Structure 1
Amino acid sequence: MNTQVLFYIIVLLIITYLINIPFGIIRKRYKKFSVGWFICIHAPIPIVAFIRISTQVSFKFIPILIAAAIAGQITGSRVKRNNT
């Protein structure tokens, strides 16, 4: 694996995690499975997809990106829970 590609993957994982934290915070305001809750979960996807495609990171890394997104959502919801 190319060093530049590995760098892009690591940066993309960090960005995916960080983008999802505020959406996890906002998601806690909505009732589970409501429209707002659904939007908070899915809104970051186009941003991450755009960055992944523009950096030419393979689609094979999507499962890892999903894990980073879930971790960001969980972190955000716990930050909100601890502040209320």
Structure 2
Amino acid sequence: MELASIFIVSLVALVVNVPLGRWRASVPKFSFLWFLAVHLSIPLIVYLRIKTHLGISYIPVTIAFAVLGQYLGGLFYTIE
């Protein structure tokens, strides 16, 4: 069950951060909106980690997928 929880939380972190990364790429760097786009998904990811009882050892995995989502969203913005 833990492997399924890791997969689901990581996938949600990735999918949620793609549109946020696209938005982040369209606003001025280090502005309030940029900061908001980078950090808006964190409460959702923390909530899902708590509800699925994932330990702190899985924080790097969820962060990596969130960063990947931000990167892909920014990449999609620059391709357009």
Aligned to 1:80: 77
Alignment of 1:18-33 (within 5 A): 18-33=15-30
Give the TM-score of the pair, scaled to structure 1.
Answer: 0.92
Residue 40 of structure 2 corresponds to residue 53 of structure 1? no
Segments of structure 2 that go 5 or more residues without pairing to the other structure are none
Question: Which residue of structure 1 aligns with residue 41 of structure 2?
Answer: 44
Distance 2:8 2:41 in 1: 16
Instruction: State the Cα distance separating 1:50 from its structure 2 match.
Output: 0.5
What letter is aligned with 2:68? A
Partners of 1:67 and 1:38 lie apart in 2 by: 18
Query: CA–CA distance in 2 between the matches of 1:47 and 1:12?
Result: 10
CA-atom RMSD, angstroms? Answer: 0.7
CA apart distance, 1:15: 0.8
- Tell me the TM-score normalised to structure 2 length: 0.96
Deviation of the 1:11 alpha carbon: 1.1
Secondary structure of the structure 2 residue equivalent to 1:28 = helix
Q: How does 1:56-67 map to 2 (within 5 A)?
A: 56-67=53-64
Identity of aligned residues (%): 31
Q: How many residues align?
A: 80
Query: Whole-Å Cα distance in 2 between the matches of residues 40 and 26 of structure 1?
Result: 7
